[in-house]
Amino acid sequence: MSDDQHITAPLRLFNSLTRTIEPFAPIEDGHARIYSCGPTVYNYAHLGNLRAYVFTDTLRRTLLWKGLSVTHIINITDVGHLTSDADAGDDKMEAAARASAQSIWDIAAHYTQAFKQNIADLNILSPSEWTVATDYVPQMIEFAQKIAPTHCYELDSGLYFDSSSVPAYGALAGGRDDAAHARIDPVAGKRNASDFAIWRKSPPGEQRQMEWDSPWGKGAPGWHLECSVMSLARLGHPFDIHTGGIDHREIHHPNEIAQNQAYCGCTDAEPGFTGARWWMHNNFLVDRSGKMSKSKGGFTTLFSLIDAGVHPLAYRLLCLGAHYRSELEFSAEGVAAALTRLKRLVMGVEGLKARAEGVTWQSPRLDYLRANLHPKLVPLLEQFDAAIADDLMTPRALPLLEEAIAIKKIPVDEKLCLIAAFDAALGLNLMTLGRADLRLQPKDAVITPDAIEAELERRAAARADKDFALSDEIRDALIAQGVDVMDGDPLRWDWRLTLAQGS
């Protein structure tokens, strides 16, 4: 058995602030604090949005694997996110409410619930707390009042942050990106293209569904303000890691950082102060037409994948198969391959469990594993640890899981112990999923799994009687109903429902 040093690879994470991989140490011993920008709940999350939360969950599980406790906040943006990334255009929530003739609060409640369902379906650990933007408006006003005299100016349309009032504005984005800001609809009177709204006044004579009184008149908070305020309120500044999709590295997070610097007033004393030590970003999920986005419409949701008969954890596995900082292309073929890979994993673990009756392998602890693991499994544990500690290299960790399932001449309980530990980091729910759970019935299927099984039994009987005409007839009837009969399938899956095109 190797000593601990070999098994415990130091955790290293990519920090977007420095664009380098750095050794990670939490501010507070043994405890990490993470804030993840949450969804804007004017529509269903698309699969790209969900990639962002598979990434944060992998980060959180890796910190847990490393023995840290984690406080994780995800916010719900139910006000303030405009249809453009800046200060012109509609509030996305108000626009959705108008389009559907529903109350904005009902819209927010509906899509928040749908998002939480997605999180549960993907086996993403619930955050320690969901913070809802509209619950924090008084704190946002207080925050804005504190920074307004030295960092803001007022226009007819609202209170604006002067981005030239903080040093090195936009450093996270790699410098002042005037081109990105120039693409944003201009607001008359703004001093710099990169200035942004802290408070948006309701236009005269217009009543918004969501508006609050403030020292600058009735209105609503700016989107960037929300995250500064909620992270400060729940985690304190500085906390350890702030996450989001890579689009946030360009505008939303630089604006948060500018506000955080202004609020703490410590930019001179501590020039590196940004509010969080690490800023981490996942790359995009793209499809053939480019970055998946809600505003483009026609996006693919997890619900549509489930309706097509794909188990949601196949999508999680698809995400883990790529490193979080690489673009990932979404396609029906890719998701079908991930589903097959998941089936193999589930089938392998199910086989081991069947042989290990009475053995408990749940909640394995790394210290127990280190002390007790079969010597042949130790290299796998070490390599797995090194992979996830290397900026969450899940594509390198997955084959090690597959190896642990396949490795021969090891007591089954030892293997299961290791697999359960790996799965605690990967979140594929392998210790409880069974093959039957993976068979989801597509929404438009005309035949139920029970009816398919009954037909396949009738067919097996026909073949046993050498009645091949009847056997073929049954198979053809199944094919006509969208059922692929897979004679001799190495996975012994026997049948599958044809995936809907484009799903």
Answer for which of 24, 65, 279, 284 binds ligand AMP (CB under 6 A) is 284
Q: What is the closest distance, in whole angstroms, from the C-beta atom of residue 295 to ligand AMP in the complex?
A: 8
122: Cβ contacts below 8 Å, ≥ 6 apart: 50, 53, 54, 57, 302, 312, 313, 315, 316, 427
Number of residues that bind Zn ion (CB under 5 A): 2
Binding of Zn ion by 220 (CB under 5 A): no
Count Cβ atoms below 10 Å from residue 441 Cβ, excluding itself.
15
Pick between residue 334 and residue 482 the one whose CB is nearest to ligand AMP.
Answer: 334
63-92: which residues touch ligand AMP (CB under 6 A)?
77
* Contact partner at residue 202 from ligand AMP, Zn ion, none, CB < 5 to 8 Å by partner kind: none
170-209: which residues touch ligand AMP (CB under 6 A)?
none
* Contact partner at residue 117 from ligand AMP, Zn ion, none, CB < 5 to 8 Å by partner kind: none
The CB-side HSE value for 26 (13 A sphere, CA atoms) comes to 16
Q: What is the closest distance, in whole angstroms, from the C-beta atom of residue 183 to ligand AMP in the complex?
A: 17
Q: What CA–CA distance (Å, rounded) separates 47 from 58?
A: 16
Binding of ligand AMP by 285 (CB under 6 A): yes
Residue keyed to tokens 């019935």? 441
Q: Please, are residues 57 and 428 in contact by the beta-carbon 8 Å criterion?
A: no
Q: What is the closest distance, in whole angstroms, from the C-beta atom of residue 173 to ligand AMP in the complex?
A: 14
Binding of ligand AMP by 52 (CB under 6 A): yes
Q: Which residue is nearest to ligand AMP (CB)?
A: 245
Q: What CA–CA distance (Å, rounded) separates 134 from 226?
A: 9
Residue from 300, 294, 196, 200 nearest 254 by CA? 196
Binding of ligand AMP by 440 (CB under 6 A): no
Binding of Zn ion by 227 (CB under 5 A): yes
Q: Which amino acid is at 132?
A: V
Pick between residue 44 and residue 361 the one whose CB is nearest to ligand AMP.
Answer: 44
Helix (H, G, I), strand (E, B) or coil at 21: strand
* Contact partner at residue 227 from ligand AMP, Zn ion, none, CB < 5 to 8 Å by partner kind: Zn ion
Q: What is the closest distance, in whole angstroms, from the C-beta atom of residue 75 to Zn ion in the complex?
A: 7
Among the residue ranges 49-57, 82-90, 428-436, 472-480, the one whose residues contact ligand AMP (CB under 6 A): 49-57
Binding mask 293-312 for ligand AMP (x = CB under 6 A): x-------------------
**Residue 212 backbone dihedrals phi, psi, to 5 degrees:** -135, 155
Q: What is the closest distance, in whole angstroms, from the C-beta atom of residue 325 to Zn ion in the complex?
A: 19
Pick between residue 54 and residue 314 the one whose CB is nearest to Zn ion.
Answer: 54
Answer for which of 11, 34, 37, 335 binds ligand AMP (CB under 6 A) is 37
Pick between residue 49 and residue 267 the one whose CB is nearest to ligand AMP.
Answer: 49
445: Cβ contacts below 8 Å, ≥ 6 apart: 309, 481, 482, 497
Q: What is the closest distance, in whole angstroms, from the C-beta atom of residue 197 to Zn ion in the complex?
A: 15
Pick between residue 252 and residue 475 the one whose CB is nearest to Zn ion.
Answer: 252
Region class of 364: left (phi > 0), else alpha (psi between -120 and 50), else beta: beta
11-50: which residues touch Zn ion (CB under 5 A)?
37
Residue from 463, 450, 462 nearest 495 by CA? 450
H or E segment to which residue 119 belongs: helix 104-121
Binding of ligand AMP by 292 (CB under 6 A): yes
- For residue 30, count CB atoms less than 10 angstroms from its CB and return exposed for 0-12, middle for 13-18, buried for 19 or more: exposed
Question: CA-CA distances (angstroms) from residue 84 to 41, 47, 152, 200?
Answer: 16, 21, 21, 14
232-261: which residues touch ligand AMP (CB under 6 A)?
244-245, 247-248
Binding of Zn ion by 137 (CB under 5 A): no
Residue from 223, 189, 206, 208 nearest 84 by CA? 223
Binding of ligand AMP by 51 (CB under 6 A): yes
Q: How far apart are the first and last CA of the chain?
A: 48
Binding of ligand AMP by 403 (CB under 6 A): no
Pick between residue 281 and residue 343 the one whose CB is nearest to Zn ion.
Answer: 281
Answer for which of 17, 26, 33, 49 binds ligand AMP (CB under 6 A) is 49
* Contact partner at residue 51 from Zn ion, ligand AMP, none, CB < 5 to 8 Å by partner kind: ligand AMP
103: Cβ contacts below 8 Å, ≥ 6 apart: 97, 209
Question: CA-CA distances (angstroms) from residue 307 to 115, 303, 484?
Answer: 16, 6, 18
Among the residue ranges 9-17, 220-228, 386-394, 461-469, the one whose residues contact Zn ion (CB under 5 A): 220-228
Enumerate binding residues for ligand AMP (CB under 6 A).
Answer: 37, 39-40, 48-49, 51-52, 77, 244-245, 247-248, 282, 284-285, 291-293
Enumerate binding residues for Zn ion (CB under 5 A).
Answer: 37, 227
